[in-house]
Structure 1
Amino acid sequence: MQYPATLPEAHKALLTQIIDTLSRDTRIVGIGASGSYASDAMDKYSDLDLVIAVEPSHFEAIMGERFEIIDQIDGKVASFTGEHVGEPRLVIALYAPHSIHVDYKFVALPDAATRVDDTQVLWERERKLSQIFESSTHQYPQPDPQWIEDRFWIWLHYGATKIARGEYFEAMEFLSFLRSVVLSPLALKQQQLTPSGVRKIETRLPEFSEQLKLTVAQPEKQSLIDAFEKSIELYLSLREKESVVINPAAQSLCIDYFKAELKQQ
């Protein structure tokens, strides 16, 4: 097998062991790798994002034995399932001695067709996984500008109430939400880049990230007000490049509320 040129030696050794171990289980029919592996952009901080394709008739059994299966791989120090990211099929594991993070997503073979990014086949039986990938395409979820516009001004109102009430840490968390769900995805989409939240935004859109810095606040009233105002400014600028039905009444009401409750106190 030819690994990507950027794959670190420690990752390579662990990946080789994973493939050797899992391929001995006849219920598993393919192993793929996505993320920075597939794009040949690995470094020593990278995760291994693996798709483990299972014969459908054995999927439930494998799901019940996931931890026992990955326990066969030397060096595992901890693991847990991925409900926190909405993916219960996922097992996230950490391996010593190099502290390598591995995501194992166990899927029934036909379900491997549904994927958000490119996935490279590492190992398979009878080209089963390759055939699934050849008959389907990957599609990263795109932000829906209308969905965002329909919500943005109520979101702004929510943030204003948190600042006015003195719930400053809650307001900080909400600014993070706006960066990840609204501002960065729209900016990336408009540059024909994968809209993956704020991940690597510093290198992918350096000029925009300088503006985004101004949406980061301290848990203090004026800092939060300034950050929310910058978020509004950025959103309106991004919205100009989209075709959306604007709700001027909601926009005016919520901006006026923001000013009345916070700017004039």
Structure 2
Amino acid sequence: MIGTLPAFHAAFLDKARGTLSTDPRIQSLLAGGSLIHGGMDEFSDLDFVVVVEDDSYPEVLASRMDIARRLGSLLSAFTGEHVGEPRLLICLYGPELLHIDLKFVTMSDLDQLVERPIILWSRDEGAVEERLDQAEISWPNRDPDWFEARAWIWLHYGAARALREELFEAISMLAFFRDQVLGPMLHRRAGRPQRGVRRVEAYGLDDTGQLAATVARHDFGSVKASLVAAIDLYLTLRADEPPRSEVEGMPQALFEFLGHEADNAARL
């Protein structure tokens, strides 16, 4: 059941449902994202899953830009190879700006999902519901060993760039580290799917301000302090679910590399 949507989102959804239902190649229109997680507001995207008949899939994939244009005033669009999802078409509509994701799949693609979508329209709703009931649905959460194997390499990279005075690169690595490690681990602590830094503020996951302390200005002292804060927060979150083995010599070696004296015994 869809709750109350912002007017522009609701109008776009209705048009998409009406337009796509006239295309005999398209079997169903599903939706995920904020429509199922909650928190939909005027700044939200719409995440659509377009289920295509098997025989028509190559044709539809080749013409997906034309399909996107039929849904509204398309300003720009590109495919999602950068997130490992070439089936995805990422769209911006306007002049009232709205971000729309269109992922084109077949029925067999519904066997393994990261979330259970809702059905907006279908030629055979019962068949889709049955498929979703039987699907393997799991969010791609990372385990403690995944974090530990990567954390110190990424932190060292950021430290090395900072010491070389490539501050923009170091700041970029800190943002990457928040998205790939600290944000997911904060979500893990809260018992939520590991969704990067999405809605960290809304869920109150950084009430202590430890994550905010990892945001640096373009200044070496600020970048160094943010790296130290990232190390400290990683160690705190790592203790929630420790890896099977910890990287030898860390964090001491990284503190020495940064020229930082670890004055907090808890870091050691």
Secondary structure in 2 matching 1:71: helix
Q: TM-score, normalised by structure 1?
A: 0.91
* Counterpart amino acid of residue 111 in structure 2: A
What is the Cα deviation at residue 209 of structure 1? 6.3
* Counterpart amino acid of residue 65 in structure 2: F
Secondary structure in 2 matching 1:210: coil
Q: Per the alignment, do residues 260 and 13 of structure 1 end up closer, same or farther by CA in structure 2, a change over 3 Å counting?
A: closer
What is the Cα deviation at residue 190 of structure 1? 1.7
* Counterpart amino acid of residue 249 in structure 1: G
Paired position in structure 1 for 2:249? 249
CA distance in structure 2 between the partners assigned to 1:26 and 1:216 by the alignment? 50
- Worse-superposed segment, 26-35 or 166-175: 26-35
CA distance in structure 1 between the partners assigned to 2:135 and 2:4 by the alignment? 27
Q: Is the 1:89–1:105 contact (alpha carbons within 8 Å) kept by the matching residues of 2? A: yes
Q: Does residue 1:213 correspond to 2:212, yes or no?
A: yes
Q: Does residue 1:145 correspond to 2:140, yes or no?
A: no
Identity %: 36
What is the Cα deviation at residue 255 of structure 1? 2.8
Deviations 1:236-262 (A, max 9, x none): 11111113111233543333222279x
CA distance in structure 2 between the partners assigned to 1:199 and 1:120 by the alignment? 21
Paired position in structure 1 for 2:266? none
- Worse-superposed segment, 98-107 or 252-261: 252-261
Q: Is the 1:47–1:101 contact (alpha carbons within 8 Å) kept by the matching residues of 2? A: yes
Ranked by relative contact order (alpha carbons within 8 Å, sequence separation 6 or more), the top structure is 1
Paired position in structure 2 for 1:121? 119
Root-mean-square deviation over aligned CA pairs: 1.9
CA distance in structure 2 between the partners assigned to 1:40 and 1:246 by the alignment? 37
Q: 2:63 aligns with which of 62, 65, 71?
A: 65
What is the Cα deviation at residue 40 of structure 1? 4.0
CA distance in structure 2 between the partners assigned to 1:195 and 1:73 by the alignment? 32
* Counterpart amino acid of residue 79 in structure 1: A
Q: Is the 2:73–2:93 contact (alpha carbons within 8 Å) kept by the matching residues of 1? A: yes
What is the Cα deviation at residue 161 of structure 1? 1.1
Q: TM-score, normalised by structure 2?
A: 0.90
Q: 1:105 aligns with which of 103, 106, 120?
A: 103
CA distance in structure 2 between the partners assigned to 1:34 and 1:223 by the alignment? 39
Secondary structure in 2 matching 1:214: helix
CA distance in structure 2 between the partners assigned to 1:240 and 1:39 by the alignment? 28
Name the count of aligned residue pairs.
259
